[in-house]
Amino acid sequence: MKKTILTSLLIIISMSLFSQRAVNMKLQNEKISVAMNLITQQTGVEFSYNPRVVNTNRIVSVDITNKGVREAVDLLLSDMYHYIIKGRYVIITSAKKLPETTIDNEPVIAENKKNKEKSSGNKANSGLSIIGDHKIANERIKKGPPLTINNQVNETTMLKKIAGVITLSALTWGGADAQLRHSEMKAPVSKTENKTEYNIGLQKSTAQLSFITPLGTDGQNTKDKEYKFSFNVLGGTTGGVNGVEFGSLFNINKQDMRGFQMSGLFNMTGGIVSGVQLSGGANIAYKSSGFQISGAVNYTAELNDVQIAGVANMAAGSRLQIAGIVNYAQGADIQIAPVNIAQVARFQAGIVNISETDDAVMLGVFNYVKKGGLFEIGISANDYIYGAVNLITGTDRLYSILSFGAYSPSSNMTVGMGLGTRLQLGDSPRGFHFELMHHQIYKSNFNNKGRDASLEQARVFYSVRKNKFTFYGGPTINILLRDADFTEVKDPIYSLFDNRGSKYYFDMWAGAEVGVRFNLK
């Protein structure tokens, strides 16, 4: 409960930081895309539009000093476009020459039949992809904002989905309903003329010392300055850091942090983290191009290179996540934790792995793929285990096997774990399976009285799929290891090689297995 309250407070503070950031820029004969990117960097607000409506190469000259988001956007766009502001998004709806109606004092485009007919589907040239049950554009402008709307009539619906995809509500673990493509996860952070600018509009200063803001050497002015060295006895708020910052409880940066930052409770950055964040509790950043290390939680609203946490990591996109309990990302290259959750992932290793698509390679006890993948129940028999029930989860690329078997005459039980891969033979339903299995052998009451026995298998199967059934069979290489006094474990039918020591028995032989699996998905 305490962790939930702390997380909620951090989110509220973070959102407040984003909303209070002012815009400062002075541009002369620059592309409008440059101005948009500067507003995005300084406030976190992003622009969405139809590229047929907005010419991002249009030349503008603007002088904006300490203005709020609405004032800044109005100075930039009001003479050229109609737009509305929804949360973190400025939606440019049309050029000034198009007809308009006013709803709640916000200009929007009036519906017309032609637009409605043209925006109905997922045509090859529409630039749209299906995400959930809604349509949003997946086009990206190389130097422009990351998302464009290509459907004016469905604007309201798209706005709702956009908010659900990228807002901080990812912390509720509901996940966004959208699927971010992995290539988009690798898109660089906002840039201006191919060079990322940090802490725009802040006064540069060497150092500051605060007990807790505003009790310090610079008082309230710390929020308007970038420091090379910042030390907060309890906690403090700065405009940005380009060096080193320490805080015994917390550090808060309104814009960007470049360098090294450490606190006992939490670090929060309203802009880009390029370097390191260390805390005993939580690290929160809007964007990160460095890495975060925390004893409890790391959270990044956008791309993060590395996250390491004792409890949980959360990011829209991450190249590497390592956590003691759970990792969550919309797009991730590598996730390592007992529980890994991602919409798009390349590799996951843990006890439980969950992915939206079957592109991921998942190494775990249980793997679940929402769209596609394997969720099979099967029965099998071989020359040593007379009958077994199997659960197969993952994908053909890599799947996990849980097995529960029995054999006579001693009524011993086996509990098995393994992994495998299936190679499809062209477009035919036939394929080959390569599997490795470990079976632990127990007495029927699971009381071995300190004695141990196991069966190790390497298996090659030929399989045929028909509808949701997979029929398979093939040879196995078996190694049986057991304590010499575990007399309830029977010998194999024959051995190619065996050894009877005073403490351990060893048998190796070739066998065979057949079975059938049914995919429940």
Q: End of a domain among 303, 337, 361?
A: 361
In a domain, 77, yes or no: yes
Nearest to 112 by CA among 130, 127, 94, 86: 94
For residue 203, count other CB atoms closer than 10 A to its CB. 12
Q: Compute the distance between CA of residue 370 and CA of residue 377 in angstroms, rounded to an integer.
A: 17
Mean pLDDT by 10 residues, the chain (521 residues): 48 47 87 90 84 86 88 89 82 71 40 38 34 32 36 43 38 33 35 59 94 93 94 95 95 93 93 90 87 91 86 90 94 93 92 90 94 94 94 96 83 92 93 97 87 96 95 97 91 94 95 96 86
- The C-alpha atoms of residue 93 and residue 152 are separated, in whole angstroms, by 7
> H or E element: which one contains 115?
helix 113-118
Whether 394 and 502 share a structural domain: yes
Residue 327 lies in a domain: yes
In this structure, is residue 207 part of a structural domain? Answer: yes
Is the backbone of residue 214 left (phi > 0), alpha (psi -120 to 50) or beta? alpha
Considering the domain architecture, whether residues 515 and 384 belong to the same structural domain is answered as yes
- Residues 6 or more apart from 429 whose CB is under 8 A from it? 464, 465, 466
User: Considering the domain boundaries, does residue 184 fall inside one?
Assistant: no
Domain end residue (candidates: 335, 361, 387):
361
Helix axes 32-43, 69-77, angle to 10 degrees: 180
Q: Give the range of the structural domain holding residue 30, as residue numbers without chain letter.
A: 20-113+125-166
Q: Which pLDDT score is estimated for 410?
A: 64
Same domain, yes or no, for 479 and 500? yes
Residues 177 and 157 sit within 8 Å (Cβ to Cβ): no
CATH number at residue 451: 2.40.160
Domain count, the chain: 3
Do 286 and 309 share a domain, yes or no?
Answer: yes
Residues 209 and 313 in one domain: yes
356 and 256, same structural domain? yes
Burial level of 198, CB count in 10 A (0-12/13-18/19+)?
middle
Domain final residue pick, 332, 361, 390: 361
pTM over 0.75: no
Domain assignment present for 175: no
**Which tokens is 171 given?**
């912390």
3-class DSSP state of 64: strand
**pLDDT attached to residue 84:** 85
Handedness of CA 414, 415, 417, 422 (dihedral sign): positive
Helix (H) or strand (E) holding 379: strand 374-382
Question: In whole angstroms, what is the distance from residue 385 CA to residue 405 CA?
Answer: 6
Q: Are residues 430 and 503 in the same domain?
A: yes
Same domain, 24 and 158: yes
- Whether residues 209 and 357 fall in one domain: yes
Domain annotation covers residue 3: no
Tell me, what CATH number does 84's domain have? Answer: 3.55.50.30
- Distance separating alpha carbons of residues 70 and 83, to the nearest angstrom: 11
Q: Are residues 506 and 474 in the same domain?
A: yes
Whether residues 50 and 160 share a domain: the answer is yes
Q: Is residue 81 part of a domain?
A: yes
Residues 223 and 353 in one domain: yes
Peptide bond into 99 cis (omega under 30): no
CA dist 12 and 112 (Å) reads 41
DSSP secondary structure of 213-253? TTEETTGGGGGGEEEEEEEEEEEEEESEEEEEEEESSEEEE
143 falls within a domain: yes
d(CA 277, CA 328): 19
- Report the pLDDT value the prediction gives residue 140, as an integer from 0 to 100: 31
What are the C-alpha distances in Å from 343 to residues 248, 317, 355, 356?
A: 36, 10, 5, 4
